[in-house]
Structure 1
Amino acid sequence: MRTLKTLAASAVLAIAGASGAAQAAEPDKLFVSLTSADDHTQFMSMVLANQTMRQGQEIRVLLCGPAATMATEDFDGPTMEPAGRNAQQLLMNLINNGATVETCAIFLPNTDYTEADLLDGITPADPEEVGAYMADPSVRFFSN
């Protein structure tokens, strides 16, 4: 009987410890994967990433497909109100405040763009590195 009580007490402590460990590993990073060509979607994704950064989260942005043009001088997104800015300007704010911004690995080899066409602070992604980042339990995901 005493062994059963000891096992039960140990199980309760183990569960409580696991619960505390899970709470300690709350996500503190945001991974934004943006592929949409829609102006409103691009802009709002950047608004939310900036707001999340202001709340102390680490931000990493991966631009793929039509959204990857945000990484180049060719981006021609509209100015959105009430901010009076476009999505690329919000993206640059993220970079200027320490966010990692990358284009998907297949963007440059499958377009007429080269690495020289990317804005300062934006690089092609390394799929292995991005995959490891995504596997981190402290990372939340936001994708559009």
Structure 2
Amino acid sequence: MKAILKKAVLGSMLVGALGMNQAYADNMAEGLNVVVTSDSHQTQLMAMVLSTQTLKKHGKKVHMTLCGPAGDLALKTTETPKLKPKNVSPSMMLKKIMGMGAKVEVCPLYLPNAGKTPEDLIDGIQVAKPANVAAGLLNKNFQNLSY
């Protein structure tokens, strides 16, 4: 009798744990809004790493806006240094997350203040519309990260 009771209790605990795990997954955000302004290559790379994990491991969306010094990442001519431990660069990772489906935009202030045009941008990167970025940041289904 004790063995049957023990199995029933363990079974109930397992079902409860699985239910909590599903509830946790159901409460997760739809994705991330990532705003990158830093000129630090380590900081930029961390933004790319977490965006990669969001896309790859969690199957969530990533919307990234590059502004200020980080806007340079959006340029076709930019190559940032490779960093340890994986020997990858922010510019390499940016292209990777775009290939994984991340939406990447440059803030509308960047191009005119950097003396650049939309033709200077990596294919697939658009100029952000402030109203759309603001709406995205206010969307409760997304988490916001700023670097």
Q: Report the TM-score, using the length of structure 2 for normalisation.
A: 0.78
Q: SS state of the match for residue 33, structure 1? A: strand
**Pair 1:58-2:61 in alignment:** yes
2:108 to 100, 105, 118: 105
For 2:86 and 2:66, the matched residues in 1 are separated by 22
C-alpha displacement at 1:26, in angstroms?
Answer: 3.8
Residue 47 of structure 2 is matched in structure 1 by: 45
| Structure 2, gaps ≥5 residues long | 1-24
Counterpart amino acid of residue 65 in structure 2: L
For 1:51 and 1:97, the matched residues in 2 are separated by 11
**Pair 1:125-2:128 in alignment:** yes
1:30–1:59 Cα contact (<8 Å) kept: yes
Q: SS state of the match for residue 73, structure 1? A: coil
- C-alpha RMSD over aligned residues: 1.5
Deviations 1:2-61 (A, max 9, x none): xxxxxxxxxxxxxxxxxxxxx956412100000000111111111111011111110010
For 2:78 and 2:96, the matched residues in 1 are separated by 16
Deviations 1:38-96 (A, max 9, x none): 11111111111101111111001000000000001232311112222210111111111
Residue 3 of structure 1 is matched in structure 2 by: none
Q: Report the TM-score, using the length of structure 1 for normalisation.
A: 0.79
| Structure 1, gaps ≥5 residues long | 1-22
Residue 96 of structure 1 is matched in structure 2 by: 99
Counterpart amino acid of residue 142 in structure 1: L
Count matched residues: 122
Residue 32 of structure 2 is matched in structure 1 by: 30
Q: SS state of the match for residue 101, structure 1? A: strand
1:25–1:138 Cα contact (<8 Å) kept: no
1:39–1:77 Cα contact (<8 Å) kept: yes
